[in-house]
Amino acid sequence: MSVLTFRRMQEADLDTVLTIEFSAFSHPWTRAIFLDCIKSGHECWLAFDDHQQVGHGVLSAAAGESHLLNITIKPESQGKGFGHRLLEHLMDQAKTRDAEVTFLEVRESNRNAAGLYESFGFNEIGRRRNYYPATVGREDALVMAYSLVD
């Protein structure tokens, strides 16, 4: 099993971040969104397999809770456990920011991501109707939560 390493995302990383983001999603985040997250002091992390960047994640934390805003593993690196290890790293960061719970939204059609979150211990707590833009119309989001306290 390869060793995944992490480092904080910087503005100079955004070209590679966007290449991965655009390869993984039909409606990817923009440079401006990532830049705003970096400048806002969110937990913005890169994941590396050896020296190759394979993914990234963004988490906001305040007032005892955190929100997983983005987690992306490039398509050719999926299915190797990288998503789980990146999620674990982001949950560790949430704990260091004194969060007691993490929330997220995931596209209802993104069964792979929802399965990852469920296997990690997230529970579905609701649904946001027509939350995400879709190729045709809009798509619901599943709202999930994970307790960071024992």
| 37 within 8 A of 46, measured Cβ to Cβ | no
The catalytic residue positions are 105, 117
| 103 within 8 A of 65, measured Cβ to Cβ | yes
Q: Give the amino acid at 113.
A: A
DSSP 46-111: EEEETTEEEEEEEEEEETTEEEEEEEEE-GGGTTSSHHHHHHHHHHHHHHHTT-SEEEEEEETT-H
